[in-house]
Amino acid sequence: MSEAIREANGEGRAALVVYLPAGFPDMDTSRACLEAAAEAGADLLEVGFPYSDPLMDGPVIQQANQVAMDAGYTPHDDIEMCAQLDANLDIPSLVMTYYNICWHYRAPDRLAGFARAAADAGLSGAIVPDLPVAESAPWLRVAADVGLASVFLAASTSDDAHLASAADASTGFVYATSTLGVTGTRESLSQRAEPLVSRLRAVTDRPVCVGIGVSTADHAAAVAGFADGVIVGSAAVRAAADGGPVAVKRLVAALAQGCRRGYRAPASSESAR
């Protein structure tokens, strides 16, 4: 996963990470939308496993999650779709879901069973946003056992010690949240993101990707000026709702151009210790 980000950086662009939920508006269409995102220039895919209490997610993603759950899709269905997706694509994908889904996965060893199923389906990593770093040892152990990378969130309100802990625990990339609050499209980007990326680069050499609020090519270009990767979620979900794979492909192509247009490689003086 980190290799894909660094490969994009080596080609003179920020990596583009696109989030879409499994099962929205139905399972086949969600897979087609993810495949369209990959075809249009996404470097990594973030597959959301719907959950009834998604604390990080704003209204667009919440509504999409509800549609998938109302259709009766389960995490096992989501895993099966990811396996089909992996068979058709050659870019990494990771799961984004909540700890309750992982802990209560229908397998004899629950948490380990979820990690194993995710890895067997071809997923490269996981974002579990409600899992505190301080309580993550059981997850990190089972994820490492099956070669699944872990991604933790870092916020501008965190002190330097917490940022270092989040970066150390992240074996894929560090997810820098551009603003406080839930996901969603925004007219302008927060001024918190760039200083946060600088602080993270002082404590880690792992790739730092910025998400929450990125929705346009201009947003992507702005973030590409200081981050290794750009994460887009709500805008992609809205495109899937409005126009399916065709609309997703159009949006992702524009975002990918923004990631190339705005990219600035970090100066050596900013490299992590």
Q: Is residue 159 part of a domain?
A: no
CATH of the domain at 63: 3.20.20.70
pTM (2 d.p.): 0.92
Per-residue pLDDT reduced to its tens digit, 236-259: 999 999 999 999 999 999 999 999
Which domain covers residue 47, as residue numbers?
Answer: 2-150+214-270
Q: Model confidence at 268, in pLDDT bands (50, 70, 90)?
A: low
Q: Is 7 a catalytic residue?
A: no
Counting Cα atoms < 13 Å in the Cβ hemisphere of 41 gives 24
Q: Model confidence at 118, in pLDDT bands (50, 70, 90)?
A: very high
Q: Model confidence at 129, in pLDDT bands (50, 70, 90)?
A: very high
Per-residue pLDDT reduced to its tens digit, 203-236: 999 999 998 888 899 999 999 999 999 999 999 9
Close Cβ partners of 109 (under 8 Å, ≥ 6 residues apart): none
Name the catalytic one among 46, 78, 194, 228: 46
Q: Is residue 26 part of a domain?
A: yes
Q: Which residue has the higher pLDDT, 179 or 39?
A: 39
Count of beta carbons in the 10 Å neighbourhood of residue 62: 19
Per-residue pLDDT reduced to its tens digit, 30-56: 999 999 999 999 999 999 999 988 777
Q: Model confidence at 79, in pLDDT bands (50, 70, 90)?
A: very high
Close Cβ partners of 162 (under 8 Å, ≥ 6 residues apart): 133, 154
Q: Is residue 35 part of a domain?
A: yes
What is the residue-averaged pLDDT of the chain? 92
pLDDT of res. 192: 83
Distances (CA, A) of 189 to 24, 87, 152, 164, 177: 27, 36, 21, 24, 11
Q: Is residue 112 part of a domain?
A: yes
Q: Is 90 a catalytic residue?
A: no
Q: Is residue 174 part of a domain?
A: no
Name the catalytic one among 43, 57, 78, 194: 57
- Cβ-count burial 3-29 (b if 16+ within 10 Å, e if not): ebbeebbeeebbbbbbbbbbbbbebee
Mean pLDDT score, 181-191: 51
Tokens of 76: 């096992």
Domain count for the chain, please give it.
1
Question: How distant is the alpha carbon of residue 118 from its chain centre?
Answer: 15
Q: Is residue 191 part of a domain?
A: no
For residue 15, give the 3-state DSSP assignment. strand
pLDDT of res. 55: 74
pLDDT of res. 202: 95
Q: Is residue 69 part of a domain?
A: yes
Q: What is the DSSP string of 90-151?
A: -S-EEEE--HHHHHT-SSTTTHHHHHHHHHHTT--EEE-TT--GGG-HHHHHHHHHTT-EEE
Per-residue pLDDT reduced to its tens digit, 142-176: 999 999 999 999 998 899 999 999 999 999 999 99
DSSP strands (E only) in the chain: 15-21, 44-48, 93-96, 125-127, 149-151, 153-154, 174-177, 208-211, 229-232
Q: Is residue 59 part of a domain?
A: yes
Question: How distant is the alpha carbon of residue 181 from its chain centre?
Answer: 16
Question: How distant is the alpha carbon of residue 72 from its chain centre?
Answer: 24
Bridge partners for 150 per DSSP: 126
Mean pLDDT score, 14-27: 98
Provide the 8-state DSSP code for 230: E
